[in-house]
Structure formats: structure tokens, C-alpha cells
Amino acid sequence: METTAARARGITQTFGDVIALDSVDLDILHGQVHGLVGPNGAGKTTLLGLLLGLAVPDAGTLQILGTPVGRVLGVPDGVAGFVDGPGLYPALTARANLAALARLRGYGASATRRVEESLEQVGLIDVADDRLRGFSLGMRQRLGLAAALLTEPRLLVLDEPANGLDPAGKRHVHRVLAGLADQGTAVVVSSHRMDDLAALCAEVSILRAGRMVFTGPVAKLATESGPLDHRVATSDPAQARRIAAQLSGLQIVPSDAGSRYDDALVVRASVPTVDELVARLVAAGVAVRELGPVVPPLEAAFLALTGLNDTDDADRSGAEDR
């Protein structure tokens, strides 16, 4: 089987004066969950829409499941998913929604099996005969995923599938997506937040204002952030500060008024320099009680690459999502 499920080269998409995607390259591999992340308006939905055949790019080439995408709209064979929320009928039950889709797609004898398996997979079997109208946002998201799974896709494209899900629901959906990837499906999911994707994705792409600022393995992204801020809580903060001040390549980060870091020291330094600080503290008899990055490395790389670390916008958008 071809290892690349989707390949984009130099994809550009404009809406009037707005350049939604600016010469974007992307490779989506079979057997992996690929995360697409970026701030509001970065171009995530536009890119996912292209993968789903909802639009054709103004420039560049796009190949999906081995077939070059031409100028004609339409979901390519073997591709399923949704952008801007799943399109479903509120007056129908979950089961009837899926049965209607299965009929539309002409699944014939395999329709019932596919409907029941999809409901089972997303954990909606117990509410399968409830009308969608009464469903929470998270349950609708799961039914949207079930609708995509009906087609047994080889490329699954989901715009913020964790939107509206509680932590247990999110874990469930993540398990479903990881299971599909294990069976060889290529899965693309978008999110605003790196930490949501870190646990799920082998590869990640970061868009900023229509430009791809990073695409590759998650492990590589962690090395992109440069020196991180580390919080160091010790038995003797004053002595720790004096020792830290003597280390080259280390910057002491001024604590905020009414600090969230209490009297712990916050230092900006590479990991080897932080290791050296710990060695010197211990040698001087200062106990290290807590040590860790203030922002996890992947989140820090995301914030640095998207420019969000200059403001507290990232914290705010995160709070909305949680």
C-alpha cells in the first residue's frame, strides 16, 4: 500500500483579499494520526476542506489516496470526515441518521452491520434510539465521527473532533482514532491546542496565518522551542538565586508581582544548563524540591512558532477549550 495518503505541494487558497493558505506543503501518512494546529484563522479548516474535496486549491498540487485532485469538487473515494461540525438531522435518532446515510451511500446488505459497528465504536449504542435534538455537543461530535466511520475510510479528516467533549469523551475518541491509525487509516485532526494533540499524534503541522511554520514528527517539535523557562523550588531560595546568577547561559526570569511562582526561582536555560544548576545547588547543600518546565516543551514550541507567547491570548483560548 502507498504510504502517503495525502500530499500537498505549494497549495494556495484565497478568499478575496484574504490568503487563507499560502504555498502549503503537507504529507499525511497511512497508519498515523496527524495533528493540524494553529490559532484562529490560521487556515486549518480551509486545508481540511481541500482534503475533503469541499473546495479545490487556487494553486499548487494535491494528491489524495494516490489520485491527483482535479478542478472538480467532490469527496474523493476512501475519504470521510467533517469540517464546521457534522451535518446531521436533529429530528432523527442517532441510529436513523446513520441508517439514512448508509442508504444514501447504497451500502445495501452491509448497511445494518456498518451502522451498529459505528455506533458501538464511538460509544453511542445506549442512546442510539434517542433523537439527535436532545444530544449534547459532545454526543453530536461522536455521532459525526460515527457517520464518517460508516464509510470505512482510508483517510479520515476531522475538524476539532474533541470540541465539546468531556475528558472521558475525549479519551474515548482519542482511543478510537488511535485504533484506526493502528489498522492503517490516515487520520487528520485539527485543534487549537498543542497539548490536546501531543498525546494522540505521531506528526503535527502548525499553521500560522496561512503559512506552514512546522510539519513533522512531534518529537522533533519539542526541540524547536529553544531555552525553556523552568521553575525551581528549593530549600533556600535566596542562596539558589545567588548560585543561578553565577551560571552563564542562564537567565533568571523576574517573578511577577503577586507571583504565581511563589518564592521559587524561574530560570530560562537549555536542559544541560538546568542540569548544571541542579548539580551546583546540591553541591552547596540546597535541596531541590521541585523542578519542571513552566510550560510543557511541545506547548512552548507551539507558542513560539505561532507567536502566541507574546500575549496571554493562548491562555484565554485554552480556557475556552477546556
Ligand X SMILES: Nc1ncnc2c1ncn2[C@@H]1O[C@H](COP(=O)(O)OP(=O)(O)OP(=O)(O)O)[C@@H](O)[C@H]1O
- Comparing C-alpha atoms, which of 181, 301, 257 is closest to residue 173? 181
* Residue 223 contacts ligand X per CB under 6 A: no
Among 5, 33, 35, 46, which residue interacts with ligand X (rule: CB under 6 A)? 46
**Which range in 13-21, 215-223, 235-243, 252-260 contacts ligand X by CB under 6 A?**
13-21
Beta strands 288-293 and 203-208 are unpaired
Q: Considering only the stretches 33-41, 122-130, 179-187, 298-306, report the one whose residues sit in contact with ligand X under the rule CB under 6 A.
A: 33-41
Closer CB to ligand X, 133 or 316, in the complex: 316
List residues bridging with 186 in a β-sheet.
Answer: 155
Q: Closest separation between CB of residue 86 and ligand X, Å? A: 15
Least distance CB 84 / ligand X (angstroms): 8
The pairing of strands 265-269 and 211-217 is: unpaired
- Applying CB under 6 A, among 2, 3, 9, 15 the residue interacting with ligand X is 15
**Phi, psi (deg, nearest 5) at residue 98:** -70, -40
Touching ligand X, residues 167-206 (CB under 6 A): 192
Scanning 42-50, 60-68, 126-134, 215-223 for contacts with ligand X by CB under 6 A, the matching segment is 42-50
Q: Return the beta strands (E) in the chain as ranges.
A: 4-15, 18-29, 33-37, 59-64, 67-68, 79-82, 155-158, 186-191, 203-208, 211-217, 228-234, 251-252, 265-269, 288-293
**CB atoms closer than 10 angstroms to residue 172:** 18
Residue 7's nearest CA partner among 32, 26, 24 is 26
- Of positions 4, 23, 45, 255, contacts ligand X by CB under 6 A: 45
43 forms part of the interface with ligand X (CB under 6 A): yes
**Residues 294, 16: Cα–Cα separation, whole Å:** 41
28, 4 contact by CB (below 8 A): yes
Residue window 277-306: x/- pattern of binding to ligand X, with contact defined by CB under 6 A: ------------------------------
Least distance in angstroms from the C-beta of 39 to ligand X: 7
Tell which one of 7, 12, 22, 41 touches ligand X (CB under 6 A). Answer: 41
Q: How far is the CB of 192 from ligand X (least distance, A)?
A: 6
What is the rounded distance in angstroms from the CA atom of residue 103 to the CA atom of residue 188?
A: 26
Which range in 24-32, 36-44, 125-133, 251-259 contacts ligand X by CB under 6 A? Answer: 36-44
Of 44-52, 111-119, 240-248, 260-268, the segment contacting ligand X by CB under 6 A is: 44-52
Q: Are 170 and 162 in contact (CB under 8 A)?
A: yes
DSSP state of 300: H
Is 232 a residue that touches ligand X (CB under 6 A)?
no
Note the residues at the interface with ligand X (CB under 6 A): 15, 18, 20, 38, 40-46, 192
